[in-house]
Amino acid sequence: MNTKRLFAGVKVAATAALRAELAAWQQALRGERIRWTRPENLHLTIEFFGATEEGRIPELKAALAQAAAATKTFAIKLGGAGTFGGARSPRVLWLGVESAGLEELHGRVVAALAGIGWNPEAREFAPHLTLGRISRLQDTRRFGEALESRRAGVLPEQPVNELVLFASVTGRYVPVGSWGLGGG
């Protein structure tokens, strides 16, 4: 049985403002053991599928196409840094996302997947843009100060006009299919 590690998401453009934000974080946390997200891998995960049998990919694509066609294009606003994991051992550094359209797209994807008997992720949808994955912090105080000082910044809006099925292949996210968002 051949499988691919898949997820549905939307691409996030590595704008000058976003690159500057990422560079500021990298500078503030220089020397820490953080695997920073490469600009070409910036995305927002809508639904994670994990190891998926290749034989199920066509029906998955059909469901995603249906969800995309039923969703209007929208904008996202990135800002408000946070972490996943405990305060003393955070695992992921992220930027928050504001967008009613993203919530709508997620709902349509989940509904379309239910139509093919696919169970959605058990965890609650928590839209975020991963900036980096933290292996280990040497200076939790410095990290906390950086997080507090950069917590409130908001970047310019970005348009979202397509849904993408990605495969995770050796640290890269490779599009397997994409669908333009429709008129709702």
43 among known catalytic residues: yes
Question: What ranges in the chain are assigned the alpha helix state H?
Answer: 16-28, 57-69, 100-114, 140-150
Q: Which of 6, 7, 42, 43 is catalytic?
A: 43
Consecutive 10-residue averages of pLDDT for the chain (184 residues): 94 94 93 94 95 95 98 95 87 94 97 92 91 93 88 86 95 94 78
Neighbouring-strand partners of residue 165:
8, 177
Identify the CA nearest to 67 among candidates 1, 114, 6: 114
User: Tokens standing for 175?
Assistant: 């599009």
Identify the CA nearest to 76 among candidates 106, 108, 48, 44: 44
Fold of 3-180: Cyclic Phosphodiesterase; Chain: A, (3.90.1140)
The model carries a pTM of 0.92
106 among known catalytic residues: no
- Residues 6 or more apart whose CB falls under 8 angstroms from that of 16 comprise none
Q: Which amino acid is at 69?
A: A
Tell me if residue 55 falls in helix, strand or coil.
helix
Q: What is the pLDDT of residue 153?
A: 72
Q: What is the pLDDT of residue 88?
A: 78
Q: What is the pLDDT of residue 183?
A: 66
What is the residue extent of each domain of the chain? 3-180
What single DSSP character describes residue 106? H
Q: Which of 4, 106, 108, 128 is catalytic?
A: 128
Q: What is the pLDDT of residue 170?
A: 87
